[in-house]
């Protein structure tokens, strides 16, 4: 049932994944990261996927041009996530990005997503639920 809702790779919503807290920068995952693979598996298009790298500080004007539908935020807890969304909303330059205009922010638990390992299956489940079932409730 879940699989039926997932679009074929590269056809789903455009997303931007960011790691909050690294200074005043937009850190994201490039083509060679496992998170990019995970996003692809979930039928999402990572806007930073054409950059051949692992982690990179993304250029904000590129983000405006990419205009993602969702912004996925890796944060260590809810509080940090809320802080991150407030910060993104406070940036005048980014106000017209679809994800920010519609407040389409998705919380990803840093503990679960920032390490490669067997728990990636759990992370995958969390991602699917958050994106397709609008359930943001800690992935349970």
Partner 1 sequence: MSSRRKPWLFPAILALLTVAAFLLSVKIGAVRMSWQEVRAGLFSGGQYRDIIIHLRLPRAILAYLVGASLALSGAILQGYFRNSLADPFILGVSSGASLGAVLSLELGLTWTIFGFSSQSWLAFLTSLLLVASVYLISERRRLRQGESLLLTGIAAGAMASALTSFLLFRRADAYEQAVFWLLGSFSLSGWKEVWLILPYFLLALIVAEYFAPEMNLLALGDEVAQSLGCPVRTTRRLFLFLATLLASFSVAVAGIIGFVGLIVPHSVRLIVGPDHRPLFFYSALTGGAMLVWCDLVARIAFTPSEIPIGVITAALGAPFFIYLLNWQRPKHS
**Between residues 90 and 121, which has the closer beta carbon with respect to partner 1?**
90
Q: Long-range contact list for 46-52, CB < 8 A, 24+ apart?
A: 46/15, 46/16, 46/17, 47/14, 47/15, 47/16, 48/16, 48/17
* Closest distance of CB 135 from partner 1, Å: 26
Coil, helix or strand for 27? strand
Kindly indicate which of the ranges 6-14, 32-40, 91-99, 125-133 contains the residues binding partner 1, using the contact rule CB under 8 A.
91-99
Q: Pick the closest to residue 81 from 108, 50, 61, 54 (CA basis).
A: 108
Residues between 23 and 82 that touch partner 1 (CB under 8 A): 23-26, 48, 51, 53, 56-62, 64-65, 79-80
Residues that bind partner 1 (rule: CB under 8 A) add up to a total of 30
User: Applying CB under 8 A, which part among 8-16, 32-40, 92-100, 120-128 lies near partner 1?
Assistant: 92-100
Residue 124 CA to residue 72 CA, distance in Å, equals 13
Interface residues toward partner 1, by CB under 8 A: 21-26, 48, 51, 53, 56-62, 64-65, 79-80, 83, 86-87, 90-96
């Amino acid at each position: 049932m879940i699989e039926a809702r997932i679009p074929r790779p590269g056809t789903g919503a455009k997303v931007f994944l960011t790691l909050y807290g690294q200074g005043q920068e937009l850190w994201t995952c490039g083509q060679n990261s496992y998170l990019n693979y995970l996003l692809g598996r979930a039928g999402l298009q990572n806007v930073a996927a054409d950059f051949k790298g692992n982690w990179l500080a993304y250029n904000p004007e590129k983000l405006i041009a990419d205009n993602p539908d969702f912004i996925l935020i890796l944060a260590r807890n809810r509080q940090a996530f809320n802080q991150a969304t407030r910060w993104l909303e406070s940036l005048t330059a980014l106000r017209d990005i679809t994800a920010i205009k519609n407040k389409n922010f998705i919380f990803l638990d840093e503990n679960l997503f920032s390490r490669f390992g067997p728990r990636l299956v759990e992370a995958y489940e969390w991602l699917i639920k958050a994106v397709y079932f609008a359930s943001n409730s800690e992935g349970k």
